[in-house]
């Protein structure tokens, strides 16, 4: 059964920031993107925030811009928007791959990027590629604006540094420069509309035969999407040999602590982190040579 709530529909970002300014907790005013997470949860729990603030409909917050060496997406950009952007395969190939295996067509058409990040799910599929791409998020309130690197955004299971009066308004990352590539793989129990069992994304930049940037992000194997920092360190500054890739994969497996649930056991998830990190590193490095 649905819970009762008020719905605020602001005309623009400024009005939205004014409306949410008095929110002291997420239970006061909750931003509403496409509603594909929030509404499902409201129905399941029979509980809602007192007021929903529709930010998914704010036109200024929707769109993808590439300028000054950065890719910037408005918070209300949908997953389908990512797939439709002609340059996305070049400037964010891991994100593009993720959008292609995200949910199903109907959900992609309405689910927003901000909603995916802010729902805080460890299985959120856009987050590993965004972490791999080195993304930051912009948080805005009437008090001002701040930019937080995505890997500093989550503080635990469904918790983050966002304050109740802040809106996430933009996500951006540097246009990959030089010799670099990124990949994402979603391991699900079926191909469409599946909650991810393990999501892995990697980004590698190489120069002079060695890895100059390595980012490995893991989804659904911890309380929030995480970077596998130790595994990254195995390859950083090195020539990526088969042995090192194998080692990085085992280190990544050791870094995560997945739980057992109805989709998969923790043991299988760990095993698959190793499989997928190895596989994606190989594919990424092959594509660079």
Partner 1 sequence: MNKLDSAATGEHNVNFRQIGKARTRTDSPGKVFGKTPYAGDYVMPDMLHARVLRAKVPSARMTRLDVSKARALPGVAAVLTFKDLKIGTVATDIPGQTGFKRRATDQQILVDELVRYQGEPIAIVAAETVEIAQHALSLIEVDLEPVPGVYNVFDAQKPDAPKVFGTDNLVASYKVRKGDVEVGFAAADVIVENTFTTQYIEHAFLEPEVGLGWEDEQGVINIRSSTQAVETFRYIADAMGLPHSKVRIRGALVGGGFGGKCDVTVELYIALLTKATGRPVRLGYSREDSFYGHGKRHPFIINHKTGFTRDGKITASKIDITSESGPYAFMSPYVLMYATEAGPGPYLVDHVHIDSRSIATNNMYTSAFRGFGATQACIAYEQQMDEAAKVLGIDRIELRRRNLLKTGDAIATGFKVQSAVWTEECMDRAMAALGEKPKDKGAIRYGHGLAAYQQGYGRMIWLHDTAEGWVGVEMDGTVLVRSGMTDIGAGQTSSLAQIAGELLGIDMMDITVYNSDSSTTPLAGTSSASRGLYMSGNAVRLAAEAVRDRLAARAAKHFGSTADDVDFANAQVFLKSDPRQTMPFKELVAVCASEGIHRAELAIFRAPFGDWIDPETGQGQVHPDYTYGAHAVQVAVDTETGEVTILKSIGAHDIGQAVNMAAVEGQIEGGVAQGHGYALSEELIYKDGYLVTPSLSEYLCPTSMDSPRIECIVLESRSGLGPFGAKGIGEPGHTPAAPAVANAVADAIGTRVFDFPLTPEKIANAVRKARKAG
Residues binding partner 1 (CB under 8 A): 1, 40, 44, 104, 187, 189-195, 197, 262-265, 268, 271-272, 275-276, 279
Stretch that binds ligand FAD, among 62-70, 106-114, 129-137, 251-259 (CB under 6 A): 106-114
The item of partner 1, ligand FAD, none sharing an interface with residue 276, based on CB under 5 to 8 Å by kind, is partner 1
- Say if residues 76 and 61 touch (Cβ distance below 8 Å): yes
Sequence-separated (6 or more) residues with CB below 8 Å from residue 142: 17, 18, 21, 165
Tokens of 113: 């990027």
Beta strand 64-67 with 70-74: parallel, antiparallel or unpaired?
Answer: antiparallel
Closest to ligand FAD by CB, 44 vs 177, is 44
For residue 129, state whether it binds ligand FAD (rule: CB under 6 A): no
Beta bridge partners of 30: 52
Helical pair 266-288 and 242-255, crossing angle rounded to 10 deg: 150
Q: Looking at 55, 73, 273, 276, which residue binds ligand FAD (CB under 6 A)?
A: 55
Stretch that binds ligand FAD, among 109-117, 129-137, 144-152, 273-281 (CB under 6 A): 109-117
- Say if residues 255 and 289 touch (Cβ distance below 8 Å): no
- Say if residues 124 and 116 touch (Cβ distance below 8 Å): yes
For residue 73, state whether it binds ligand FAD (rule: CB under 6 A): no
Q: Looking at 193, 241, 242, 257, which residue binds ligand FAD (CB under 6 A)?
A: 193
Give the dihedral of Cα atoms 131, 267, 121, 224; nearest 10 deg.
-50
The item of ligand FAD, partner 1, none sharing an interface with residue 279, based on CB under 5 to 8 Å by kind, is partner 1
The residue ranges that bind ligand FAD (CB under 6 A) are 30-38, 40, 55-56, 75, 102-103, 107, 111-112, 114-116, 118-119, 124-125, 167-168, 193
């Amino acid at each position: 059964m649905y819970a009762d709530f008020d719905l605020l529909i602001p005309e623009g970002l400024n009005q939205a920031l004014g409306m949410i300014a008095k929110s002291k907790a997420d239970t006061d005013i909750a931003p509403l993107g496409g509603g594909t997470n929030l509404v499902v949860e409201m129905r399941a729990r029979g509980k809602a925030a007192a007021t929903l603030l529709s930010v998914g409909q704010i036109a200024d917050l929707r769109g993808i811009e590439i300028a000054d060496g950065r890719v910037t997406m408005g918070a209300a950009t949908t997953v389908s928007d990512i797939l439709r952007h002609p340059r996305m395969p070049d400037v964010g190939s891991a994100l593009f791959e993720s959008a292609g295996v995200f949910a199903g067509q109907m959900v992609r058409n309405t689910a927003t990027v901000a909603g995916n990040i802010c729902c805080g799910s460890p299985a959120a599929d856009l987050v590993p590629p965004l972490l791999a791409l080195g993304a930051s998020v912009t948080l805005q309130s009437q008090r001002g604006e701040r930019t937080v690197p995505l890997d500093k955004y989550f503080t635990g299971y469904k918790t983050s540094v966002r304050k109740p009066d802040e809106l996430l308004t933009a996500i951006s990352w540097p246009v990959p420069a030089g010799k670099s590539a990124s990949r994402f793989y979603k391991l699900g129990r079926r191909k469409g509309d599946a909650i991810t069992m393990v999501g892995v994304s990697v980004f590698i930049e190489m120069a002079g035969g060695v890895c100059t940037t390595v980012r490995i992000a893991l989804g659904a194997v911890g309380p929030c999407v995480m970077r596998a920092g130790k595994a990254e360190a195995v390859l950083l500054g090195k020539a990526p040999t088969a042995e090192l890739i194998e080692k990085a994969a085992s280190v990544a497996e050791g870094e995560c602590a997945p739980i057992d649930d109805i989709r998969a056991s923790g043991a299988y998830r760990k095993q698959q982190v190793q499989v997928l990190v190895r596989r994606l590193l190989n594919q990424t490095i092959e594509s660079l040579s």
